[in-house]
Structure 1
């Protein structure tokens, strides 16, 4: 159920105490969060951001402007969620930049209680992504593989491999477009949780701690065992799910 930019695995939720909204990484899609529904309490609504050009939003044109993507996501959330419903945003890598930008736009119209970000430098620092706009396909693949293995199934299928390359090239542009120092990114009394992998080659604990200046609310920073994609480890995923709903249990 849902619209193009926002989908939900929930068939029907009559009453919910809060909702979690998940923003996927560059080159990824909503399916990156497969399994999270079963890790969350049944009275917590789940929505997944789906950027255009992939999965259920396959017919949409790739969007390379992160600010426009954030505006479209906000419209989708406002269409789906009651303004009083407590919301938790969680974004990983590029998704963290999008989650933060969307939260900044939405903080005067929606009830955002916590923003959770992982594997992302704050926007005033140099982004770890390369500028891939003019890169060759091989250079794009090498950039992706630097942060984790690409499944052999994708590498061996020409169509799937090209689709991945196109999405990554686009999404790295999205992430880089959100590099800024604008003061409107400062959240009000919204709690901010920032997480990372202790073996991430591009995002260190020092980077993560510098998110502390982006909210006047509570701040915490935690390192998990793993690399840039530590969240895909089953144990880490379970712990992340608990942290997402810590304010409602």
Structure 2
């Protein structure tokens, strides 16, 4: 197992916060997706991002293709962060990772987060719409990525870079698409659900189901945008998260 230094990136090394926020990646994403976030969040929050194998400084490491592997490693890495109050945020695949991390931490008797923020992801115990992407042929997968709009056009147009990037993306898609929810006790921590109003695969009805997975409060927020509303409605999203963090462990 790699050390926590491999798995976590401190985006605010100059801060010693009263609260830790750990941001978990969407499929194909890395810690760089969250580099601009700290400036919009409370100054007493230390912001961390998970860095999975197969991207950024870990590009040459083989990616993980099963969510359970990601969760197992990240739960070990997050232990130092959980010595003070902490919050988990995850978008899309990252929401599934965060949810399963909290379940595993509870099973191991660790401290629960102040809150779990799930973004761009329907409740995992409900049937997921859409066809699997990880098995698509090259051209169809690239076309699907164009439709999603999160992959830079320059990358999609560069075959050499694309060949380097696609194995990691396929592995991430496989991890999310082969994940199956196992019934269990509801969590006790609050869950905040974020979604885009034009995300056809993550509807209000799919998000309503998160309330069944916690005995704590569950709030839902909707923003203008598709699956990557966290980019197109960035200021509004970070305003919501900043308000939530300001009220945590106050």
Alignment TM-score, normalising by the size of structure 1: 0.90
- What is the CA distance between 1:102 and its match in structure 2? 0.7
Q: How many residues align?
A: 243
Counterpart position of 2:163: 162
1:231 and 1:133 mapped to 2: Cα distance?
Answer: 23
The verdict on how the C-alpha distance between 1:104 and 1:31 changes in structure 2, with shifts beyond 3 A counting, is: same
> Alignment partner of 1:3: what SS?
helix
SS in 2 for 1:159: helix
1:143 aligns with 2:144: yes
Counterpart check, 1:6 vs 2:8:
yes
Question: What is the match of residue 120 of structure 2?
Answer: 119
Deviation larger for 221-230 or 122-131: 122-131
| 1:133 Cα deviation after fit | 4.0
SS in 1 for 2:98: helix
The CA distance in 2 between the partners of 1:82 and 1:168, in whole Å, is 29
Shift of 1:219: 0.9
Higher deviation after alignment, 170-179 or 208-217: 170-179
Shift in alpha-carbon separation, 1:196–1:10, aligned structure 2, 3 A: same
Counterpart CA distance in 1 for 2:119 and 2:240 is: 10
Whether contact under 8 Å (1:23, 1:92) holds in the other structure is: yes
Q: CA deviation at 1:51?
A: 1.1
Structure 1 match to 2:78: 77
Matches for 1:214-233 after TM superposition, within 5 Å: 214-233=213-232
**In structure 2, distance between residues paired with 1:23 and 1:99:** 7
Q: Could you say which residue in structure 1 is the equivalent of 2:211? A: 212
Alignment partner, residue 90 of structure 2: 91
1:229 Cα offset (Å): 0.4
- Residue ranges of structure 1 left out of the alignment (5+ in a row): none
Alpha-carbon distance, 1:151 to partner: 2.2
Identify if the C-alpha distance between structure 1 residues 227 and 149 changes in structure 2 by more than 3 Å, giving closer, same or farther: same
In structure 2, C-alpha distance between the alignment counterparts of 1:148 and 1:35, rounded to whole Å: 19
User: In the TM superposition, what is the alpha-carbon distance from 1:207 to its structure 2 partner?
Assistant: 0.6
- Report what 1:65 is aligned to: 66
Q: Kindly indicate whether the alpha-carbon contact (under 8 Å) linking 2:63 and 2:171 is maintained by their aligned counterparts in 1.
A: yes
Tell me what 2:182 maps to: 181
Cα displacement (A) at 1:244: 4.2
Which residue of the partner structure matches residue 17 of structure 2?
A: 16
Q: Distance in 2 between matches of 1:5 and 1:146?
A: 30
The alignment yields a C-alpha RMSD, in angstroms, of 1.9
**1:138-193 Cα distance to aligned partner (Å, 9 max, x none):** 12122223322532211222222223322221111111233213215x212x0110
Q: CA deviation at 1:3?
A: 1.2
Match of 2:197 in 1: 198
> Counterparts of 2:134 and 2:245 in 1: how far apart (Å)?
38
Q: Secondary structure at the match of 1:146?
A: helix
- Compared CA separation, residues 8 and 99, structure 1 to 2 (3 A): same
1:183 is paired with a residue of what secondary structure? Answer: coil
Q: Does structure 2 retain, via aligned residues, the 8 Å contact 1:62–1:167? A: yes
Contact 1:195 1:221 in 2 (8 A): yes
1:197-249, Cα deviation, whole Å (9 max, x unpaired): 00102110111111110100111011111111001133234324314414236
